Structure 1
């Protein structure tokens, strides 16, 4: 089977779920190619655990680097003109200008891609991550640029905040009608797709997962002093990190803790300023982005993994954060929130603790409980390890996905 993974930007440090799927499919003997609109952080591909996959030889970038609007349109117009002059691409380039493709026709995205592809890109399946990528793949197949069945994975942002973007719902209706599989990562997003009018026969929940072999649940002995709290996240509003800091500032003086923040993002300066305001500068460490091996080591030392996710002002929500799965696979107890699909993985007082969104006092109370009750902490962590093995083993999940695709092809 030949499969393309279609994504907006590749690679991105925060999208470990995409990398997990790619490497596992390759391990399963699948011929995998990566189609990305734009090039991402190429240093990610140099990580030791990825070098053997030679992903730089499997990826094709369909567009040049993002730039100013004037330069972008000028460059694309030049490509389109050249494409129209070349007989093999002319028909597809014209097709990309069809007004039914909305903004992707007007900004010449589709036509410029068509101009660079003299032959159709042929696959058994194209797995598009995020609804916006599914829309583009659907358009490209309609134009004859890509050939193959399409499965679109819906993660969260694509069926929350992006629904308010112009033409998104119209594009989704065409996607729902024309493509073969719709793969929400949670039951919550399955229900959302149904409410938008998607065909229930095309919808199959396809959870993201982690490679359990990378995580060692045989943890190092960790003292309660200091109490080590860890978050691995992009510093964006929906991660709720300002509430984490407020909760830490509310802890009793008797609790000696260290808070380690791994990641990066647009709110970093605000979070650093908040630390100073709350008197937490000596207790909070901003460690920057880390590769997967470094994250594994941080997980092993952590007493608690804190993920206080919220619904952002623009409606953006989490799916089910992979970082929570990684913490559970590492034998680290999770404290998160009753948000989006998180309760489908973390069961309150069974394999983790969940607070209401933005509830600072509940977060603080649970942190204090976990610090003082090491037996509870160990019980929750043990149950979490069993839960993630049953629900989020990426190898099992991808085998199930391959079976689903083979069944679909066999039945249609």
Structure 2
């Protein structure tokens, strides 16, 4: 369908929906819906996890799933291709696609074009604008669909998509999108340097919707690691992938002094889980370590409330992938939990060293072990750091500021139109 002159809704495009690791996207969609914006969700992939966060169940927008692999829905892809062939924007979309394919000869490129054909055909007429999370493959689908239908598009860039997408591809997408936002100053600076119009790239923190979280515990047990019957409880939450530095964390835990009594729990799925379990076994700490797998947000918050220390040693992966500002750090701060993390990516934009938490160099397991050892023995220091992180979260990283910004941007698109829609 073609966009109508009075298009009133926005399609939000994501790689997979819902995903337990993407609370920041669900939080944003729900908040914008609650402010009266008409949204619908388009996903490149079906969900792979059975558990769903409560806030995903509150989202009212319809979710449409594109063919994850083109051969699985050939008739749907064919109908999309034939429909697209008759659009005025077909030549523009194909020129962009062939230019991309010449520089990246992969099946992934062809799949994104097929998904764009389907999306272009099936978008309701009252959807006048496309907003995509992630600049890599989801933005390729949106870019082709926008060219086919004459719709405008914008993006939210996060972490992996910024640091693993080729510069040539980012430059071209930045040039075509109306504007974009990203969630760390480091990411914003990088994209602004590649954009022909740097002012169209803005820093907008996700922040945290504190109304969804319980008030932090009034007090915590005074554990200092001296009692084997009541060990210090250490927690980490994140997918078991190399950029989370969980191998460094296990190495740091294995190096802790024998007189310090502790237990560690990890929450999250991921490809490296089996190797991490083997590492824990090989280093002799398997009896102190629990891998809990993916959990919903209420379960995670309950774990954070019972913990003494949260640790996230993010670092740069060999692939170039890296974190932005992990939302789980803010979730830990919401419960006044002391934090040890790395001085890397967007983390120091939130956690100030020795004020809101302890920061160590990325990849330095010895420094990480030392920081954990010292904080584990100092409950009063942990309490002070947790209090400071909570106040910083409430003062500077609440969700409302970012949602105010996005709501204003989207309302301007809906109310006035970013530009005349191209008849396709």
Same fold (TM over 0.5): yes
Structure 2 SS opposite 1:4: strand
The whole-number CA distance in structure 2 between the counterparts of 1:261 and 1:52 is: 27
Give yes or no for the alignment of 1:90 onto 2:95: no
Shift of 1:99: 3.9
- 2:110 aligned to 90, 97, 107, which one? 107
For 1:9, the equivalent position in structure 2 comes to: 16
RMSD of equivalent CA atoms:
2.7
Any gaps of 5 or more consecutive residues in structure 2? 1-7, 102-106, 224-229, 419-424
Give yes or no for the alignment of 1:200 onto 2:198: yes
The whole-number CA distance in structure 2 between the counterparts of 1:106 and 1:305 is: 40
Structure 2 SS opposite 1:259: strand
For 1:315, the equivalent position in structure 2 comes to: 320
Any conservation in 1 of the 2:310–2:337 contact (CA below 8 Å)?
A: yes
Write out per-residue CA displacement over residues 329-375 of structure 1, whole angstroms, 9 at most, x where no aligned residue: 11111100011111001100010110001112211111122122222
Write out per-residue CA displacement over residues 142-189 of structure 1, whole angstroms, 9 at most, x where no aligned residue: 111x62x422111111121232xxxxx333222212211121211101
The whole-number CA distance in structure 2 between the counterparts of 1:105 and 1:262 is: 31
Structure 2 SS opposite 1:354: strand
Any conservation in 1 of the 2:116–2:144 contact (CA below 8 Å)?
A: no
- 1:268 aligned to 273, 283, 287, which one? 273
Give yes or no for the alignment of 1:37 onto 2:44: yes
Structure 1 SS opposite 2:286: coil
For 1:188, the equivalent position in structure 2 comes to: 186
Structure 2 SS opposite 1:107: helix
The whole-number CA distance in structure 2 between the counterparts of 1:272 and 1:259 is: 12
Any conservation in 1 of the 2:13–2:130 contact (CA below 8 Å)?
A: yes
Any conservation in 2 of the 1:231–1:307 contact (CA below 8 Å)?
A: yes
For 1:151, the equivalent position in structure 2 comes to: 154
For 1:176, the equivalent position in structure 2 comes to: 174
- 1:236 aligned to 219, 232, 241, which one? 241
For 2:347, the equivalent position in structure 1 comes to: 342
The whole-number CA distance in structure 1 between the counterparts of 2:47 and 2:220 is: 38
Shift of 1:271: 0.6
Quick one: higher RCO (CA 8 Å, sep 6+), 1 or 2? 2
Q: Which moved more, 1:353-362 or 1:2-11?
A: 2-11
Shift of 1:110: 2.6
For 1:402, the equivalent position in structure 2 comes to: 407
The whole-number CA distance in structure 1 between the counterparts of 2:79 and 2:417 is: 42
Shift of 1:112: 5.2
With normalisation by structure 2, the TM-score equals 0.85
Structure 1 SS opposite 2:243: helix
Aligned residues between the structures? 394
Give yes or no for the alignment of 1:51 onto 2:49: no
For 1:139, the equivalent position in structure 2 comes to: 144
Give yes or no for the alignment of 1:355 onto 2:360: yes
Any conservation in 2 of the 1:9–1:36 contact (CA below 8 Å)?
A: yes
Q: How does 1:218-237 map to 2 (within 5 A)?
A: 218-219=216-217, 221-224=220-223, 225-237=230-242
Give yes or no for the alignment of 1:64 onto 2:67: yes
Structure 2 SS opposite 1:349: coil
The whole-number CA distance in structure 2 between the counterparts of 1:354 and 1:24 is: 32
Structure 2 SS opposite 1:91: coil
For 1:374, the equivalent position in structure 2 comes to: 379
Write out per-residue CA displacement over residues 277-296 of structure 1, whole angstroms, 9 at most, x where no aligned residue: 11101110111110011001
Shift of 1:120: 5.6
Shift of 1:211: 2.0
The whole-number CA distance in structure 2 between the counterparts of 1:119 and 1:360 is: 49
- 2:390 aligned to 366, 385, 393, which one? 385
Any conservation in 2 of the 1:96–1:114 contact (CA below 8 Å)?
A: no
Q: Relative to structure 1, is the Cα distance of residues 218 and 98 closer, same or farther in structure 2, using a 3 angstrom cutoff?
A: closer
Write out per-residue CA displacement over residues 286-324 of structure 1, whole angstroms, 9 at most, x where no aligned residue: 111100110010010111110001110111110000111
The whole-number CA distance in structure 1 between the counterparts of 2:159 and 2:165 is: 9
Q: Which moved more, 1:97-106 or 1:216-225?
A: 97-106
With normalisation by structure 1, the TM-score equals 0.87
Q: Relative to structure 1, is the Cα distance of residues 25 and 95 closer, same or farther in structure 2, using a 3 angstrom cutoff?
A: same
The whole-number CA distance in structure 1 between the counterparts of 2:55 and 2:16 is: 20
The whole-number CA distance in structure 2 between the counterparts of 1:377 and 1:391 is: 21
